[in-house]
Structure 1
Amino acid sequence: MSKNKVLNLKDKIDGNEMDLSLCNLTEVPVKELAAFPKITVLDLSCNNITSLPLEFCSLSHLVKVDLSKNLMTVLPDDLGRLGNLQHLDLYNNKLTILPVSFSQLKNLKWLDLKDNPLEINLAKAAGDCLDEKQCKQCAARVRLGGGLREVEEIPQLLEDNEKLEKKKETKQREREAKEKEARKRDKAEEKERKRKEYNAHMAALAIQEQKNKRKEKKKRNGQIAADKKAAAESAPKARRRSLIGLLFKLLLLGLAGFVGVCQLTGLKEEAVCVPINVAVDDGLSWVREQKVDVRVRELVEEVDIRARELLQKLSSLVPQLLEPLGVVPTATEPVETVEK
């Protein structure tokens, strides 16, 4: 075929199918077809093909071939080399016999030989092919009979073949059942493994959580114990500080009261009050003479004011305290304030 015709073959391709029907072919373009090994379905129907070349038997990738409505009188002896062939349509040709190698087409499941001048034994073996079931039976009978056996032998061959097919199917089902059981067992083992891993993980988390709780409890108990210990240690100190503060306040109060008695009552001329009054007057005089910071002078002035207030309160209490003793206080001059 010319290069243009090769290109035309590409135009006849649809997926894995090539349609060369109604192309007025007188021979099959085997060399060109060999360039398309992915083609599994070939339609050569409605042409003027009289025979198939020997090279056609090398197209072992073919699964379905339609040669119906041609002029073929014979098929090549090596037709059995088409080991993948499952569907063969030879309807309305001029075939009388089939090659012996036809019995080698182990995968052939569908065959149509209607409207061919077959020999009587082959015609009886082929039977009719009016529906799917009959075409399948035709393929089985002709493949087993090879087109040359006596018709009487074919039923026995069919029975033996049916038994063999059933045996194969039984083995296939058993093998599939074993594979299914193995998959089921593997799945169950995988599920059990995952379950154990999950349980182990959860147990580890629980153990870790318990450890964390114990650590937290121990830490909390330790903190509580430390707080109690600190409280126990600080309580005596606080009590001691409180007691010391109370004594200091009482001492200051007593000293202030004593100074007030010596400054505001008639006892200031007594020998016991003379040194105290002198010390107070010297202190106030020293403060007046010092050039101190404004803040210190303000603080001293504030102390002086607070002292005067305290002395005035004490002066109101002193007569009441001395009256039971028969001592009559005399009026005194107010304490002199610190000058700024």
Structure 2
Amino acid sequence: MKKILVTGGAGFIGGNFVHYMVNKYPEYKIVNLDLLTYAGNLETLKNVEDKENYKFVKGDISDREFVFKLFEEEKFDIVINFAAESHVDRSVTDPGIFVQTNVLGTQVLLDASKEFKVKRYHQVSTDEVYGDLPIDRNDLFFTEETPLNPSSPYSASKTSADLLVQAYHRTYGLPTTISRCSNNYGPYHFPEKLIPLMISRALNDESLPVYGNGENVRDWLHVYDHCTAIDLIIHNGKVGDVYNVGGHNERTNLEVVKTILKSLDKPESLITYVKDRPGHDLRYAIDPTKLENELGWKPKYNFDIGIKETIQWYLDNKKWWQNIISGEYQKYYKNQYDNKQS
């Protein structure tokens, strides 16, 4: 029986991946390590918490003593690191926690994986490590050979983690892979991110804050397709390699917001333009050709289908996100967007 450690498995992408793996591979043991910070939510794992092949452990990936003890006890075959501070806006406000979790936490996991001879360490990264592309050049895409050029403290911390992973492979021979994905969307997405934020606020007839003129472009990847890609990479990906995972679904932020409003039959007058964020990347666009050609990956969702299913999920699961939109999150929202109208 393979034993897999999933770090950050109570978050958005990690939680979806835990669901995917627990159900697809009943013969695997999936251990979910999560610190349960503001974006971690055990309600996300309600449907799998009683499965025999699933176990939850609360802990911090940057706590070396704790992590090494866990590795010694569990003897993992595969480690998949989703655990990260991931919101760009928060990284602008408080870069330190991003370095602590995303860089130092990754180093601890790498050291433990090396010490206990893990057969595969996989780092879940982001297309933001590449920086951005010009909006007026639709022929340009991020490939695995694109130079790393991060724009924010968040993407700089993820870039640093990627470089550590590659260094541990070259220096110590640790069997590693890295995936870099475009913007994910789908079920269980924390409400501070664009799509769930706009859905939840539109349903309450509240203003929808859009940075700048809303023309920044993102390539949207359904979280299910991301899970299938990681599944392929950890089983069949070439050790030492990087794989880009993209959805071929480019939309401006404004287009996404208007799509949500139209689907919910809400007026565009709810849109409020706010002061642009510092270092706001213009365009992300991933070329996943390597993943498609080498491992046969194909996305299931195009954006038009995926966004409709996602909106419906939020309509059907109001209790999940309404429980989140309170307390610390409300304070964060007020600080981030109030009094910043342009």
Query: Normalising to structure 2: TM-score of the pair?
Result: 0.21
| Between structures 1 and 2, the one with greater helix share | 1
Q: Which has the larger radius of gyration?
A: 1
- Quick check: which one's strand share is greater? 2
Higher relative contact order (CA 8 A, sep 6+): 2
